[in-house]
A and B are shown apart, each in its own frame.
Chain A
Amino acid sequence: MMEKSTSPIVRIRNLSKSYRRGSQVIPVLEDISFDIPDGEFLALMGPSGSGKSTLLNLLAGIDKADSGVIEIGGIDITTLDESTLAGWRALNVGFIFQFYNLIPVLTAFENVELPLLLTRLAKHERRAHVETALRVVGLADRMAHYPSQLSGGQQQRVAIARAVVTDPTILVADEPTGDLDRYSAGEILDLMDRLNRESGKTVIMVTHDPRAAEKAHSIRYLEKGELKDVRA
């Protein structure tokens, strides 16, 4: 067990985001502020269209806010330019998507190796990291399999291995169990819980599933562009 530090790993201040559809402006997030402490396992809930994915994308640095501050590990990522942000993502964020988003022409091993190609690690070091990550998710024996040869739950575990292989600062997951049956979903949640408890990874997870939210330490509800109810 890791000791939780007092300073928040994520600091969000006055964050606003809207989409433009033609001349129409659709506000999605309005003046949102909140902190996420280091080592937190947070579930973001809320009705469809409330802006959960939008918020997650913003704090993962794959979308641009209209205004506000997003500080992660002390860096305000809203000030970074495109390519610096890409480099920052590679080091600091691990993504888990609803539809796994593995590259179909790459094996499980190669998919997990992908983020490491951007590091200075030598081939044998990469191999060691990939094997460790796949062992953690329980797929050491499936390394040579292509995504199409794996079940949905297994694919999501490969995706989790890919997300953690670079040892990122935060793990973000957008409905990671949304496409899985109850049993596989349970496995994925246990895995994320273990990563949070044993490796001290900060996890931010969007979910519709109350049972998924149960695993989290805290839950926040997003409704009509505002963080309504905060229950720790």
Chain B
Amino acid sequence: MFALKLLWRNAFRHRLRTFLTVLAITIAIVAFGLLRTFIDAWYAGVEASSASRLVTRNAISLVFPLPISYKDRIRQVEGVKIVSYGNWFGGIYIDEKNLFANFAVDIDSYLKLYPEFVLPPDQLAAVSRDRKACVAGRKLAERFGWKIGDTIVLKGTIFPGNWEFVLRGIYHGRDKTADESQMFFHWNYLNETVKKLVPRRADQAGFYMIGITNPSLASQVTMAIDELFRNSLAETLTESEKAFALGFISMTEAIVIAIKLVSFVVIIIIMAVVANTMAMTARERIGEYAVFKTLGFGARHIVGMIFGESMVITLTGCAVGIALTFPLARAFASAMSNYFPIFNVSKATIYMDVGAALLVGVVAGIFPAWRAVKIRIAEGLSRIG
């Protein structure tokens, strides 16, 4: 009781200094939290991937398609439950800066493969009936104010022309990791149109998505599929959805590493700031510590006082920082939803915040505590007056 009272009063003795230090910690914790969340967002696709889904694509490169005839042969492979397929469409809505993912897919099998995308049955029926139907995620529809029945025109980039769709379904995510900002439409609509315009590009799928009966069969099925098309005109490369998603990110790994580094640098800087505050504080209190020692208090009391005060300051900043991280992440998420459909502050980030704050508190206390314990009482007392 007494100890806590003393810690608290000592911590707020220099109001302005403590306020500024707490503010610096708050800013650091917010920055650290947002950077970690940013990294999480980067890996959101990996996080959302399922162990029971595989992706098959052209072995040479993702830009080369595979014949649609592969569909039935893949379905024959033991362990395969569902086969879906599609093409990255890459259409632009009104302006190039309105980025979002849009695919041509076999909608029925695609939704079976992605139970995390929930579409009401009546909407699903309406989608099936309409050749030009498209489905959008809840966030995407909200972003552009789309309502069921709206006509949406995308400008094709890979498949030139203006493409008209009718919004027949809006899916929502089953949980927070599900991406609610995709749009997809019937692969058949794309294929029929392409057949008329550029016949040689028809009947081609950019990728196959494969659902397997049991995640433990993944490597076996992967090998079986690739074996099936070995030495054919278009050899395949099959991998887990996670590996596929990671493949995309590996291209940008340097950025992620840079961000990680910055997040740690932020913590190191704040460590220096708090250490400086604590060093100043302890230097001013050398005389008081000498008085405590004179009265018979030992090294552990002095050390406790210094670390306790350091902890009061860092944990106060940490608590405020964490409290601010959530609204700021939400604001950031809505501003950046084009680039980061998923931007959630994870539990792990909060644990890291607290861990970093504890570390800063301890490190900042080490030197002052060591000095305060070391100094001879008579010398400490002579600093008074």
Interface positions of A (Cβ within 8 A of B): 53-54, 57, 60, 62-63, 83, 86-87, 89-91, 95, 97-99, 101, 103-106, 110, 113-115, 117-118, 162, 179
Contact = CB atoms under 8 A, between A and B. Distances in A.
Contacts of A97: 291, 381, 384
Contact of B296 (A90, A98, A179): A90
Contacts of A106: 6, 9
A105 B384 contact: no
Interface residues of B, number: 23
A106 B295 CA distance: 15
Of A83, A87, A114, most B-chain CB atoms within 10 Å: A114
Contacts of A63: 376-378
A86 B298 contact: yes
Nearest to A119: B296
A90 B295 contact: yes
B339 interface: no
Interface in B283-302: 287-288, 291-299
B291 to A, nearest CB: 5
Contacts of A162: 295
B121 interface: no
Contact of B2 (A95, A101, A113): A113
B338 interface: no
A168 to B, nearest CB: 10
B376 A89 contact: no
Nearest to A146: B9
Contacts of B5: 110
A104 B293 CA distance: 16
Given A103-B291, A113-B2, A118 B381 contact: no
Majority DSSP secondary structure for residues of B touching A: helix
Given A62-B294, A63-B376, A101-B291, A117 B384 contact: no
A96 to B, nearest CB: 11
Contact of B377 (A53, A62, A104, A105): A62
Given A99-B384, A103-B292, A105-B10, 9 more contacts: A86-B296, A86-B297, A91-B296, A101-B288, A101-B384, A110-B2, A110-B5, A114-B295, A118-B297
A89 B2 contact: no
24 contacts: A53-B378, A54-B378, A62-B378, A63-B378, A86-B297, A86-B298, A87-B296, A89-B294, A90-B296, A97-B381, A97-B384, A99-B384, A101-B291, A101-B381, A101-B384, A103-B6, A104-B13, A105-B6, A105-B10, A106-B9, A110-B5, A114-B295, A115-B295, A115-B296
A98 B9 CA distance: 25
B145 interface: no
Contacts of A53: 378
B120 interface: no
A176 to B, nearest CB: 13
Given A63-B378, A99-B384, A110-B2, A105 B13 contact: yes
A16 B299 CA distance: 27
B385 interface: yes
B313 to A, nearest CB: 15
